[in-house]
Structure formats: structure tokens, C-alpha cells
A and B are shown apart, each in its own frame.
Chain A
């Protein structure tokens, strides 16, 4: 019985309930559980670590303020992703309105936050390997950022976060068939783009 109760508390729904009762530790647990996934999705979508960190923080602030309205019909993760997508859309829209270039090259990313891409760009055994991998990552980023927003969002949620089509549909507020066609189109565009960059 005690074990069952502890399991309930550790579940997303249990944590949400605890948050509603005013337990700050429950929300900290939720943050720690989802922060990397949210951050990664935001980073893949925005292509910028600083913006991704700000956006991740904003996602949890919004979630905390709206936690009383969370009905539990969807998973907590899907709910958090839907907040993330909305904020990402807003940020991209604002950037376009202000005429900012949302694309950030991998080199610039490395200059801004050295070490964050070391796992990939620095994973090679030799400087030449590292250069090749860095070039590959630059191409991948460039092609991903070239995708239309709704294709990119769909692709990121599927490829990086492994969400099922239904979950993506719920997070994006569209039918599963739309998710399928968007994913198909996104992959085709990426394939063509990477072929142009002589990656494929």
C-alpha cells in the first residue's frame, strides 16, 4: 500500500496533484524530469542554446501557472511539449517580425557555448575527424532550419523525442494523418537538402 502511494506520488499525475496542493518539491521533480527533453526540443527547433534555455524556463513557469487548468486528459509530457511548441512559434514569429536571422551556425554555437557540442563535434579521434563531424553537424542544422516551421516541429518531436504520431498530433493540435504527411514531407526535404550538401 505504501509502495503504491509512493508510486502515485512519483507519477506525473501525482506530482501535478502535489503541485496543486502547494508542494514546491513536486514541481522541482517535474522540472528535473522533463527539463532536458524540453530543452533539447527547443534547441533543435531554435538552434540556439541561450534561447533554448530561456524558452525552457518559460515553459515551466507557464506550466506552473496553468497547472490548475491541467485536466489530465493528455500526458504531462504532451502538455509540456504543446506549451513548448506554442512558445517556439511565438519566438520565431517575433524574430521574423523583428527581422532577426534565426539561423545560428554550429561554429557560432561553439563560440557562444563551448563544450555543449563537444560530444558530437569533439567526439572524433583526430582534428580532421572533428572537422568532418563539425561540418556534418553544420549541414544538418542548416537543412533542419531550412524546413518550414510546422515540418520542423513535427520532425523534432518524432526524431529527437520519440513521440508517437498520436502524441505529436495532440501536442500540435492536428490530426494524425497530418502528422504522417508532414513527417514524410520533412524527411523528403531533408534528404534533398543533405544531398545538395553532399552529405548523402
Chain B
């Protein structure tokens, strides 16, 4: 141990009497030969003595009483200091909240809670556009109501009033607010079709009145046939006052037809087009897709069911609250007994929403893929 630094490292244990006898002898032998190291050791000893010479501080006499008081207070009083929430805890809370939201979403999807239909969601994504379309549809409806009489007269004028034909019950097919815009477009298309049809019939044949509305003539498909009833409503607002009740002469028919299906209809269509031209193409496309999806209809147990994204809805359902009926439940048995043919309905994939005794029921089914 000839390195002075090694000797210096042993100063404290030497002063504190923490060295083994052998090490102590070695250090003392080195110190005896090195005056510089010895002076350093003496200085260090002096430091120790100075600090040990400081008076000891004494605790207050009533320390035990103070401790007891504090213990009593702490046992009786809830600490007022707010607990600090660590960042980890915040993160945990956030993760738990996200998890809860996800679980809630899954439960809602699987538990049969009524969710907005696809069309509603589509329209909800563009509320202002939807409002515009709704206004348009309302306007068309008002026009329909205002001109029902003239429509009847028009049909009578042409000599064909297919009263028993199922009408295009616009509201019954899709009463939901978001769907009305689709119907407005439907009307628009049908109006155009009807106008074209009538113009052609008026222009191409003197006996156009039979061709125009005859359902069996093969010139109009089902949609157009329905439209034949509904289309005039869309443009009827622009139509002139009702025609005379008397049946016009055959030569007048084309004139009247031109008056209604020609100029007036064009004006009505122009208004409709102008009102709807503002709608973006994506909305039109979405509505068009939604319209296509609606076309699938099942007739079971004297009821009509429209296919929607998540199941089958009995016609007339307008988003009313539904009562969930689980398959195999008592309620399900009751419904099966009360509604003949219900078995066929519940065999459909997806949820089934139907009405019985003034109540709407939802029978959750296998998810549609």
C-alpha cells in the first residue's frame, strides 16, 4: 500500500476505528514515513473534532405530547390535502373510458337497440343538405295535396283511371325523414319518365290517351306505372287549373295533354330541377344506393317487409320505439301464436321489425353480412 491515495482512502476508517488490526498497522507504518500524509490526517481529525465540539441540539420537551396530538388529529380528521393523480392513473382512466365506449358500442349493436338506419346515417352526415331535400319533398307533398283533384280529372280526361292499381305509397314505403329526399328524387325521375311518356303518346298517336295510361300496353314498366299516378303530383303545382269536368273532344286531348304534360309539366320539372340541382352528386349517389336497397320487399303473412341494412322492416315503420322480443322467449311464443306465418318472417336474416296490436316489436336475428 504505497500509493498515497490508497492511504488517504483509509483516513476515515482509521479515524473511526473501523480498520482491521493488520490494515491499521500498515497505514500507520506508511504515515510514519510520509509527513504530508500525516498532516492531511491531522487536518481531517481536526475537522472531526470541530464538528463533534458543536453543542447538541435538544428536542422540545413536549415532543411526546405533540406526537400524540398529531396522531389524534390524523385519526379524527380526514386529510384536506388533495390527492395528486399520477399521469399513469390518468392514462388508466382514459384507457378504461375508451374500453367502456367500445364495449357499449358492441352491446348496442348486438343488443337490438334501435339504431338509425343506413339512410338516416347517410342523411345525418349532411344535415343541411337533408333539410334542403326535406323541404323539397314537403313542397312536392303540398303540391300533391293541392292538385289531387286536377290529377284525377286529368286521368279521367284520358279515359283511364286504374283505381285498383297499387299506388306508389311514398310515405308508407319510406316514412323516415331522411328517406324523404330519396323519394323526392324518385318522384322527380318518375315525373320525367311520365312526361316523356305522355309527350310521346300525345305526339305520336292520335289515340294516345289509351296508350298513355294503359297498364297492359307494355310500354310502361311497374315503376312507370306507379309513377303514372305519382308523377303528376310532383309537377302539379305548376299545372293550370283543373280541366272542365266534361270529357273533351278527342281532338282536344292532345292539346290538353300538351298543356299539362308539356309546358306546365316542363315548368314544374324545371322548378324541381332547379331546386334540386344544388344537391351535391355524392348525396344523390348515396340516395340512389339507398333507394336500390329498398327495392327488396318480402310479402309474408299478409305483411310487406322492406329489406334494410340490418334486417327486415314491416312497411309503415317510422322509427317508433320497438319492444325487443328474443327468440325462444315467452313473448315470442305469444307472437307466433297470434300472427300466422310469423315463422317465415323470423326465418329471414337480420332483425325483423313488425307491428302487432298497436306495438312495434323487434326480433333480433342473425346479423346480415
Contacts of B48 in A (CB 8 A): 159, 187
Binds A, one of B67-75, B98-106, B114-122, B200-208: B67-75
Q: Which residue of A lies closest to B17 (CB)?
A: A164
What separation, in Å, do the CA atoms of A193 and B283 have in the docked complex? 83
A142 interfacial contact with B, CB 8 Å: no
- Shortest CB-to-CB span from A100 to chain B, Å, is 19
Contact with A along B73-116 (1 / 0, CB 8 A): 01000000000000000000000000000000000000000000
CA A61 to CA B43, docked complex, whole Å: 41
- Name the A residues within 8 Å of B13 (CB-CB): 165, 180
Is A150 interfacial (CB 8 A cutoff)?
Answer: no
**How many Å lie between the Cα of A136 and that of B55 in the bound state?**
13
Within 8 A of B (CB), among A60-79: 60-61, 64-65
Set of chain B residues within 8 Å of A11, measured between Cβ atoms:
none
B50 CB contact (under 8 Å) in A24, A61, A140, A181: A140
Interface residues of A in 108-141 (CB under 8 A from B): 116-117, 119-120, 123, 136-137, 140
Given contacts A24-B68, A140-B51, A160-B52, contact A36 B43 (CB under 8 A): no
Total B residues in contact with A, Cβ cutoff 8 Å: 33
Q: A28 near B: Cβ within 8 Å?
A: yes
Q: Verify A165–B18 contact, CB threshold 8 A.
A: yes
Residue of B at shortest CB range from A28?
B64
CA–CA, A191 and B46, complex, Å: 9
Chain B residues near A187 (CB, 8 Å)?
11-12, 15, 44, 47-48
B67 with A188: CB separation less than 8 A: no
A89 to B59, CA, bound (A): 20
Contact A57 B51 (CB under 8 A): no
Inter-subunit contact B16/A116 (CB<8 Å) = no
The CA-CA distance from A123 to B220 in the complex, in Å, is 124
Binary interface encoding of chain B residues 32-59 relative to chain A, with 1 for a CB under 8 A from any of its CBs, else 0: 0000000010011011101111111111
Please give, as numbers and ranges, the residues of chain A lying within 8 Å of B71 by CB-CB distance: 61, 64-65
Quick check: is B274 within 8 A (CB to CB) of the other chain? no
Q: Is B285 an interface residue (CB 8 A)?
A: no
What's the Cα separation between A32 and B66 when bound, in Å? 12
Bound complex: CA A64 to CA B43 (Å): 42
**Secondary structure of the B contact surface, majority rule:** helix
Of A57, A137, A200, which contacts B43 at CB under 8 A?
A200
Counting contact residues on chain A (CB < 8 A from B), the size range is: 35 or more
Q: Is B18's CB under 8 angstroms from A64's CB?
A: no
CB contact between B16 and one of A31, A165, A194 (< 8 Å): that residue? A165
Q: Is the CB of A159 within 8 A of B51?
A: yes
Contact A36 B59 (CB under 8 A): yes
Contacts known (A180-B12, A187-B11, A194-B47); A40 close to B66, Cβ less than 8 A: no
Say yes or no: A191-B44 contact (C-beta < 8 A), given A24-B68, A35-B63. Answer: yes
Q: Which residue from B51, B59, B60 sits with its C-beta under 8 Å from A160?
A: B51
> Provided the pairs A39-B58, A40-B57, A117-B55 are in contact, do residues A32 and B11 lie with their beta carbons within 8 angstroms?
no
Q: Is A56 an interface residue (CB 8 A)?
A: yes
Query: Which of these, B8, B47, B57, B67, contacts A116 with CB under 8 Å?
Result: B57
Compute how far the CA of A183 lies from the CA of B18 in the bound complex, rounded to whole angstroms.
12
CB neighbours of B58 from chain A (8 A): 36, 39-40, 116
Residue among B8, B44, B67, B68 with the most chain A CB within 10 A? Answer: B67
Expressed in whole angstroms, the minimum distance between the Cβ of B39 and any Cβ of chain A is 11
Indicate whether B9 reaches chain A with its CB closer than 8 angstroms: yes
Q: Closest approach, in angstroms, between the C-beta of B210 and any C-beta of chain A?
A: 98
CB distance from B25 to the nearest CB of A (A): 18
Residues of B within 8 A of A172 (CB): none
B50 near A199 with CB under 8 A, answer yes
Instruction: Tell me the complex Cα distance, A156–B143, Å.
Output: 99
Is the Cβ of A52 less than 8 Å from the Cβ of B51? no
How many angstroms from the CA of A123 to the CA of B55 in the assembled complex? Answer: 10
Q: How far is the CA of A31 from the CA of B63 in the complex (A)?
A: 7
Report B-chain residues with C-beta under 8 Å of the C-beta of A91. none
A43 within 8 Å of B (CB atoms): yes
- A190 in the interface (beta carbon within 8 A): yes
> How far is A194 from B44 in the complex, measured between Cα atoms in Å?
11
Q: What are 21 contact pairs spanning A and B, CB under 8 A? A: A31-B63, A32-B63, A32-B64, A36-B59, A40-B56, A40-B57, A53-B60, A56-B59, A58-B70, A64-B71, A65-B71, A120-B54, A136-B50, A159-B51, A183-B12, A184-B9, A184-B12, A187-B47, A187-B48, A191-B44, A194-B47
Residues of B within 8 A of A (CB): 8-9, 11-13, 15-16, 18, 40, 43-44, 46-48, 50-60, 63-64, 66-68, 70-71, 74
- Other A-B contacts than A36-B56, A39-B59, A123-B55, 4 sampled, CB-CB below 8 A, are A144-B51, A165-B13, A187-B12, A200-B43
